[in-house]
Structure 1
C-alpha cells in the first residue's frame, strides 16, 4: 500500500475564523491522536493531503515540525457541495500493530441472464489488518449469481494477515429481481411513434 510523506505545522489558533484563514492558505486543519498521547492540532498542506486521500486507508509518514509519526486517516470531513477538505482526524499507528479499518468492496463478473440487479448492502468491509499492510480493497466474483443469491462477509477472500472485523454472516452483496416497468416502456414507444409522424 502507498506510504506518503507529508509535513505538518502545529496549530496555535483555533475556532472557525482560524480554520477559515487556514483554508484560504490552502491548508487543512487536523488532529493527530492515539497511543495515549495528547492530541496534537496540526495544519496540513491541502493539495498533498487531497492527493494522499485518493488512496483508501493511506499510510502517511507525518513530519510534525521535525517529529515523525506514522498515521492513517480515521475521519475526513468534506464540504458538502464542492467536496473541499474541511478537517481530518489522523490516528497514530506503529509498525506491526493491528488496526480496524474499512476497505472498499469491488464486484467482478456478470450476473446470470435475466432481470437481476446487484445491491451493495455494504460498500466497504470492516477488517483488521497490520497497520503497514492494509489492503486497498477486496474483489469478489458475482459471476452467474441470480436473484435471491447473496455474498456474505465470510465468502470474501481476504489477503494473508487480514481478518474480518464484522460477523461472517453479514450480507455484503445481494442479487435482487429488477422491476421492469411495462408502462415506462410503452410510454417510450409512444413518444417514438409521435416523433416519427
Structure 2
C-alpha cells in the first residue's frame, strides 16, 4: 500500500498559527533529516486520521507532495489530543535511499493457540523492536512464531527470523542485550499444586 499526502508549506509559525490550522482541520508538522534544513508544513487532518488507522502508516515510507516536490519520509513522532480523536502534530523524518534508517516496527505473534494448548500462559515482554536498514529493506512487521515454545521457554531477540538487510539495534550492542520477547509460563498455582502433591506422596 502506498501513502501519498498533499502538504502545504507553513510560513506563519507559533502556537497561534498552529491553533488556526487545527481549526481548519489541518495538522501542523515538521520535516527534517537527510542533512537538509527542517521544513514546517501542514497536512489534511482527515487524510492522516484515515491513514493512521492502518498499522503500515507507521512503518511504510510515506510520500509528501510539498509544493509540487515529492519527499519520502517516515513518521517519527505523532502527538494526539489527550481525549479527542485528533492528531495535533507530526514529526516526519526524510528518507535517503542510500542511507540506513533506524525505526521501530511491530511484532506479529503467531502460533499462540498452539503454545497455550501445551498448558502454559503466553507473556509478551515486548511488542515492537528497533531496527536499522536501508529504506528498500524496511519490513512492515516481524513475525514471531510462538508455536515452538514449551512451558517454561522464552524466545529472545536472537531467535527472531529477521529479513535480509535488517539489523536489530539492541542485538548489535552485544549478547547482553539479547532481550526476551515472549514466554510460555506455567499457570499460576501450578507450582504450588505440584509441591502439594509431592508432599502428600511422601
Does the alignment reach a TM-score above 0.5? yes
TM-score w.r.t. the length of structure 1 is 0.82
How far 1:144 sits from its partner (Å)? Answer: 4.9
Q: Distance in 1 between matches of 2:67 and 2:83?
A: 33
What stretches of structure 1 of length at least 5 have no aligned partner?
Answer: 181-197
For 1:128, the equivalent position in structure 2 comes to: 132
Mark the CA change 1:50 to 1:129 in structure 2 (over 3 Å): closer, same or farther: farther
Higher strand share: 1
Q: Which moved more, 1:9-18 or 1:95-104?
A: 9-18
CA contact under 8 A between 2:156 and 2:179: conserved in structure 1? Answer: yes
**Partner SS, residue 175 of structure 1:** strand
For 1:174, the equivalent position in structure 2 comes to: 183
Q: Tell me whether 1:93 sits opposite 2:103 in the alignment.
A: no
TM-score w.r.t. the length of structure 2 is 0.80
CA contact under 8 A between 2:155 and 2:183: conserved in structure 1? Answer: yes
Give the root-mean-square deviation of aligned CA atoms.
Answer: 2.1
For 1:9, the equivalent position in structure 2 comes to: 8
Q: Distance in 1 between matches of 2:19 and 2:188?
A: 48
For 2:145, the equivalent position in structure 1 comes to: 141
Q: Distance in 1 between matches of 2:39 and 2:187?
A: 50
Q: Distance in 1 between matches of 2:72 and 2:121?
A: 42
What stretches of structure 2 of length at least 5 have no aligned partner?
Answer: 190-202
